[in-house]
Amino acid sequence: MYSTRPVKIAGMGYYVPPNVLTNFDLEKMVETSDAWIRERTGIRERRLAGRGASTSDLATEAAMACLRDAGVTAREIDLIIVASASPDYLFPATACIVQHSIGAVNAAAFDMEIGCTGFIYALATGAQFVAAGMYRKVLVIGAECLSRLVNWSDRTTCCLFGDGAGAVLLVEGSHGEGLVAFHLGADGSGKDLLSLPAGGARMPASSETVEKGLHYIHMEGKAVFKFAVKIVDAAVTKVLEKCGKTPQDIGVLIPHQANLRIIESACERFGISRDRVVVNIDKYGNTSSASVPIAMCEALHEGRIEKGDLVVLVAFGAGLSYGAAAIIWS
């Protein structure tokens, strides 16, 4: 008979670079104001990777913190999955670079790119390997160096994004706890609403693409906003249905940190009080694939997640894509 093993999170870690860029700093770079950014997004400041650093460096720091937390050595890791919209290269995979940098010599490694939903997709994917019994220890990392892909003269996007990384270790758990449900989805008809047009096979880099700024993040903010509000509602509803829970059962909601107004709309819809939702967008901005694991780590460190809590993760992003996960904390 086909049977699967339960899967739980055995450790977590995160890393944000020390370099802070505040809204006031941005006021000196583009025509914007601290008041506008705070009111429209909830962001006060964001972290930027230091000169020469890239996504794999941030991912490595988060991975090491996660391994320390779990009390596991790098040699014990069977698989590394890195979710990122800002990988070091188109290839090789950032996961292979991390595999080498942490010394996980026994691990397979691959990347996943599904925009800001990346971590949820990677978590679901990593969980399948443990559930199937193929691997025992899977490291799932969300890592971004979006500051390298942002047009710092475009005020509509440059105030939104930040750099950082978060990691979790997945192992076999006990029945009735751990990762109990996932809901993943996509709507590719919205592919042009949030993209990095040039540098891939569709539009290879050229002097013309650079001249036109096509190697920077392009976003139609209002359309993405509307999608996000609708899809957070739908994804959370679906994942709760899948594990037989209701919004009242949610102990801690950890949403992707893209815009405080999107998060507030979800809280209102589900009747979730602010003390049950994790918000750190004010400090880090939108760190894409890294935002959910960073927020989850911080919430745990702050004692906001307890054993037995129903923790719901939800994210959305380029693709357009979306996903939610339900965890009974163990």
Ligand X SMILES: CC(C)(COP(=O)(O)OP(=O)(O)OC[C@H]1O[C@@H](n2cnc3c(N)ncnc32)[C@H](O)[C@@H]1OP(=O)(O)O)[C@@H](O)C(=O)NCCC(=O)NCCS
Provide the annotated active-site residues.
116, 256, 286
Residue number of the CB atom closest to ligand X: 221
Which is closer to ligand X, CB of 164 or CB of 178? 164
Specify the amino acid at residue 157: T
Which is closer to ligand X, CB of 70 or CB of 150? 150
Check if the beta carbon of residue 48 is closer than 8 Å to that of residue 162.
yes
CB of residue 225 vs ligand X: minimum separation in angstroms? 4
CB of residue 114 vs ligand X: minimum separation in angstroms? 11
Which is closer to ligand X, CB of 202 or CB of 222? 222
Residues that bind ligand X (CB under 6 A): 32, 36-37, 40-41, 116, 155-156, 159, 194, 219, 221-222, 224-225, 228, 258-259, 286, 316-317
d(Cα 209, Cα 214) in Å, to the nearest integer? 5
CB of residue 98 vs ligand X: minimum separation in angstroms? 23
Provide φ and ψ at 77, rounded to 5°: -75, 135
Check if the beta carbon of residue 164 is closer than 8 Å to that of residue 17.
yes
d(Cα 181, Cα 240) in Å, to the nearest integer? 8
d(Cα 269, Cα 154) in Å, to the nearest integer? 32
CB of residue 110 vs ligand X: minimum separation in angstroms? 22
d(Cα 287, Cα 97) in Å, to the nearest integer? 20
Which is closer to ligand X, CB of 84 or CB of 259? 259
DSSP designation for 49: P
Give the dihedral sign, CA 181/187/191/194. negative
